[in-house]
Amino acid sequence: MLKDFEQKKKEDKETLGAELKELRQLLLSQQQLLRDAKLPVIVLVEGWAAAGKGGLIKELISEIDPRFYQVVSPAILPEHEMRYPFLHPYASAIPENGKILFMDSGWMENTVRKYLHREITHDEYRRRVRAVNEFERQLRDGGYLVLKLFLHISKDEQFRRLTSLRTAAETEWRATDEDLWQHREYKRFVNAYEDFMEKTDATFPWYTLDAKRRKSAVRDALKLLTAMIAKALETGRYVGDPFDESFPLLPMPQLSEVDLSPTIDDEEYDKKLKKLQTRLSELHNMIYHRKIPVILCYEGWDAAGKGGNIRRVAYALDPRGFDVRPIASPLPHELSRQYLWRFWTRLPRSGHICIFDRTWYGRVMVERLEGFCGEKDWQRAYNEINEFERQLTDWGAVVIKFWIHIDKETQLARFTDRQNTPEKQWKITDEDWRNREKWPEYEVAVNEMLQKTSTKNAPWYIIESNDKKYARIRTLKIIVDTLEKACDDWLEKQMK
Q: Which residues bind a copy of itself (CB under 8 A)?
A: 28-29, 32, 35, 54, 57-58, 61-63, 65-67, 70-71, 73, 75-76, 78-80, 102, 104, 170-171, 173-174, 282, 285-286, 289, 307, 310-311, 314-315, 317-320, 323-324, 326, 328, 331-333, 355, 357, 423, 426
Nearer to a copy of itself, 279 or 380 (CB): 279
- Closest by CA position to 31, among listed 232, 229, 238: 229
- Least separation in angstroms between residue 299's CB and a copy of itself is 15
Judged on CB neighbours under 10 Å (0-12, 13-18, 19+), 463 is buried
- Least separation in angstroms between residue 260's CB and a copy of itself is 25
Nearer to a copy of itself, 84 or 125 (CB): 84
Nearer to a copy of itself, 113 or 368 (CB): 113
Nearer to a copy of itself, 251 or 319 (CB): 319
Task: Spell out the SS3 assignment of the chain.
Answer: CHHHHHHHHHHHHHHHHHHHHHHHHHHHHHHHHHHHHCCCEEEEEEECCCCCHHHHHHHHHCCCCHHHEEEECCCCCCHHHHHCCCCHHHHCCCCCCCCEEEEECCHHHHHHHHHHCCCCCHHHHHHHHHHHHHHHHHHHHCCCEEEEEEEECCHHHHHHHHHHHHHCCCCHHHCCHHHHHHHHCHHHHHHHHHHHHHHCCCCCCEEEEECCCHHHHHHHHHHHHHHHHHHHHHHCCCCCCCCCCCCCECCCCCHHHCCCCCCCCHHHHHHHHHHHHHHHHHHHHHHHHHCCCEEEEEEECCCCCHHHHHHHHHHCCCHHHEEEEECCCCCHHHHCCCCCHHHHCCCCCCCCEEEEECCHHHHHCHHHHCCCCCHHHHHHHHHHHHHHHHHHHHHCCEEEEEEEECCHHHHHHHHHHHHHCHHHHHHCCHHHHHHHHCHHHHHHHHHHHHHHHCECCCCEEEEECCCHHHHHHHHHHHHHHHHHHHHHHHHHHHHC
- Least separation in angstroms between residue 99's CB and a copy of itself is 10
Nearer to a copy of itself, 185 or 318 (CB): 318
Nearer to a copy of itself, 70 or 216 (CB): 70
Nearer to a copy of itself, 71 or 180 (CB): 71
- Least separation in angstroms between residue 40's CB and a copy of itself is 16
Nearer to a copy of itself, 28 or 190 (CB): 28
User: Cβ distance 439 to 230 under 8 Å?
Assistant: no
Nearer to a copy of itself, 49 or 381 (CB): 49
Nearer to a copy of itself, 289 or 434 (CB): 289
- Least separation in angstroms between residue 400's CB and a copy of itself is 17
- Least separation in angstroms between residue 107's CB and a copy of itself is 17
- Least separation in angstroms between residue 353's CB and a copy of itself is 12
CA quadruple 300, 302, 303, 305: dihedral, nearest 10: 20
- Least separation in angstroms between residue 325's CB and a copy of itself is 8
- Least separation in angstroms between residue 169's CB and a copy of itself is 10
